[in-house]
A = this chain, B = another copy of it.
Amino acid sequence: MTLPVLPIALIQHAMSDDLEKNIETSCRMIAEARALGAKLIVLPELHRSPYFCKSQNPAFFEYAEPLRGPTFQALSKAASMHGVVLVGSIFEARQPGLASNTAIVIETNGELAGHYRKMHIPDDPGYNEKFYFSPGDLGFHPIDTSLGKLGVLVCWDQWFPEAARLMALAGAQVLIYPTAIGWDVADSAEEQQRQLDAWRIMHQSHAVANGLPVLACNRVGYEPDPNGNQHPAKFWGHSLVTGPQGEVLGEATEDEAIVVQDLDLNQTADVRRMWPFLRDRRIDAYDGLLSRSLCGEDE
């Protein structure tokens, strides 16, 4: 089967405390991306609000919304108006005291094609996500759309080759990561560069190891920490498009941007003939991957 070339766009912008304005910005940029030819358009993680996980504050649960809440409603309208597939991200309220960090995929007709709940949840200074989000309970399943099977993962998942592999094994044709990652402004320039490089390397490596294109869409802008500004963040942008050999096809800077790129999904079959890694996985010897630790007293 010859698939058509798929024009994608990554939208990176800054978020303010004004939720409606954030959604308006996203929708304005979706229209711009469509005008540039994109048919699959990706937004950053938690694009309706500031990145509220810097500290633990129960008040921020007010940002949570149902699966088909205001973000879905606005994106549904944009998807059907422009005839595009959208990948968005919400703080999903499920019941009192239970919320998830959820990616939503919306079809060209405005319907929900599927959703993915972030499986790996970070918790480190400035990223207190375990306070807000229950670990995802839907597993790793690509979402079927009119444009292909989308392996949608979210931010912290990017550091886990296991997640990318499971999506690839399940037939994903492209891996997509909405993200919200930035620098601690107190870190040295060298440390900041190592972190950005490491982030790029991981996305490129998922492409190489699985023979798939990878899209990473990040937010930009400086966001103060409302809790005494202990952990202000400079979100680093650099939204990235790689081909199935990990080659960088498109990349943004630290500024607001729309990255538009044609993806040839047929390349996966060609690359995997040359590098048939899926053929050679030692599934008879991978049991240890289901263990937390294999050393010392843990063994």
Contacts and interface: CB of A to CB of B under 8 A. Distances in A.
Interface of A: 119-122, 124, 135, 139-140, 156, 159-163, 165-166, 169-171, 194-195, 197-198, 201-202, 204-205, 208-209, 245-247, 274-278, 280-283, 285-296
Contacts of A124: 274-276
A37 B216 CA distance: 42
Nearest to A275: B159
A93 B269 CA distance: 36
B288 A140 contact: yes
A198 B204 CA distance: 8
Given A198-B245, A282-B120, A294-B171, A162 B159 contact: no
A44 to B, nearest CB: 20
Given A205-B205, A274-B124, A295 B194 contact: no
Contacts of A296: 171
A66 B22 CA distance: 67
Contact of A166 (B165, B208, B289): B289
Q: In this complex, which of A204, A209, A285 has the most chain B Cβ atoms within 10 angstroms of its Cβ?
A: A285
Contacts of A292: 169, 278, 281, 283
A122 B280 contact: yes
B201 A246 contact: yes
Given A163-B282, A283-B291, 18 more contacts: A119-B282, A159-B209, A160-B282, A162-B281, A169-B294, A171-B295, A194-B245, A195-B245, A197-B247, A198-B204, A198-B208, A198-B247, A201-B205, A201-B208, A202-B208, A205-B209, A278-B292, A287-B290
